[in-house]
Chain A
């Protein structure tokens, strides 16, 4: 039994409450802007202006969703981080503000907003003010293409479905480093300057493996569209990109056929994995699966470096550079830096989820459900009946259609698991040195990512993933 199971229980409860708050408020805002106001406007009269306003409101929905989501989510993530670290280090964590410390970060945010905004003597006031904005802006517009994938391509968010979504996200993710260097330079502080320069070096080194591991997945899925990549991973964890990006599709179909008693099981297997060249097929599948798993962990590592998390937090390096590039920042500017940092962490986690971990798709394969409920058919039947009965109601409340709802739930579970993993890493590892960081980036990660890319290209040519 865990020694601090009571703390664990409190932590879980707190997480659930906060998630309800976040997604309740986001849903509420979206419902008001995307459904309620347009409906009211259209009911007011058959007027061109009203129709135009209704349409504008609907197009505004993704923006509102992002603007409501980002601050509340950052508050929640800071709380998760502090309570999570407390959990790992036999402490209590913040537990005084609000019931069980629930409102601690909200209070912190209010405090930061009301603190004096100081521009140090000798600082370049324009750049100093611009830096947090440039740091924060990409995390807003970088998260736009993700919305379509997260909501399962809901009608209201369909306009955010860019055909080159992942390209857009990568482009956006390379902008924040400009903000860091700018802030470090403008602060008129040598610690900040060293932190900013370290950040530039680090971002350049780690962008390459990050992009290469994503390109591998794009190549496997033959698409740059996040919604399409997400939709190709439906139907259980065997179809996820982390397990070969479709290399195990045949296996999934074969099991399905086998459990449902269908007679063409062997034909499916034969179609996907022809037996006349089985040695080559097995090697190719193994190569694909191993290299995509490596790509996933490479992505996680490079993403940790991109968002300056321990063990790659050299730009901040508290025990060396005081606080690195944000040493001189206070008040609302510091709050923006802080906000952007945690939003970036969330974004890289959700990219990992969409690209590798099956986005909002159910991780439990259909054949497993069939197998488990073979003899107890009344459970799926009951669920079906309830869904049938509720469907008119659900369709009335537009945003909670079952596809969007389950997509969002699975996204939350997977993404916050990755966030929690990042917190766990932070609670475990010390920091790299700058030369070791560079060595690791250029001498290990980049060759490895190129190798993975080439293996994937050759293996993909051998096996047939589109039957």
Chain B
């Protein structure tokens, strides 16, 4: 307490209140008598289920593709590495709606990839659950890559070099040394990516639309309900807040250890 200059306390308190007060307001506003029926309505349950399902799928995709990308960024000596890294970070600063639009142009029925897919195989990606997962992966990927690359750099290559001198093949080294050593970063990165996917709105509504049971995730449902059924929207929001808090607690306690 003594280390903090006095004049910083007021802006610090305001910053904290800016985040905390709306959350408290949300909790106060919840219609408790109808809360249970509001969050268990058919529309709510289907949105919650879709959100969890697509969130998990997004997390798996981030791990399968973002994990190797993090290794490349941390370990390789590719020439254009700074450029490659800034492209990976782009979704962090880009409005998600723009991300959704780019995906739509690329994978839409007339797009450079979506066109041939439809013409040759009859596959349509936009406005499907697959589109939800792709949109979420687009915005969530950097969270996993950044977190994991940081862990890989901190761990360094020393353990991997030792493993090689002990006769471990690159695959064995990855499985028995690299992954266990960076596991905390891998877990927190995955959880963050999952949380980001749960909250995704802009890219999803642009690229996947809002069809109940197929593409209407929890944030989309909340937005829709906030137009006419504000009680339902508030109740659903509280569910998302609780999930977010749990996720933050899980990752933070891991980081501290």
A is bound by B: no
**Chain B residues in the interface with A (C-beta under 8 A):** none
